[in-house]
Amino acid sequence: MMKKPEALFFTAVGDRHRMMILNSLIEKPMSVKALSRSLKIEQSNLSHHLKCLLDCKFVDVKVKGRSRTYSINPSVKKIIKPFNSYIHDYGAYLKTCRETG
């Protein structure tokens, strides 16, 4: 059975590393090296997550020579910012939510 698009969205952002990447890119576009240093994620692992985010169109990349600069897709930024605000305001309640079924 194929997952619904909503489930696929939350699968993509449900990984803590991918969410950390998106939150970093909200601030400013960054290279893999800068993201790796900032987030303390190995470059190979980071590249794996960036590929997923690129495939989902959550991030964009600008290539200049051998340099790649990643930025958050503006449409995704409009989703992630209110999402972060909700998490900030209601995070304590989310801890009481239990998955069922």
As a whole number of angstroms, the distance between CA 55 and CA 100 comes to 30
As a whole number of angstroms, the distance between CA 41 and CA 32 comes to 10
Residue 64's DSSP bridge partners are: 67
Q: What is the structure's pLDDT at 16? A: 93
As a whole number of angstroms, the distance between CA 90 and CA 74 comes to 25
- Residue ranges and CATH numbers for the domains of the chain are 15-94 (1.10.10.10)
Q: If pLDDT is split at 50, 70 and 90, which confidence band does 9 have?
A: confident
Say yes or no to pLDDT of 101 above 50.
Answer: no
Q: What is the structure's pLDDT at 46? A: 96
Coil, strand, or helix at residue 1? coil
pTM of the model: 0.85
**Tens-digit pLDDT profile for residues 73-85:** 999 999 999 988 9
- CB atoms under 10 Å from CB of 30, counted, come to 19
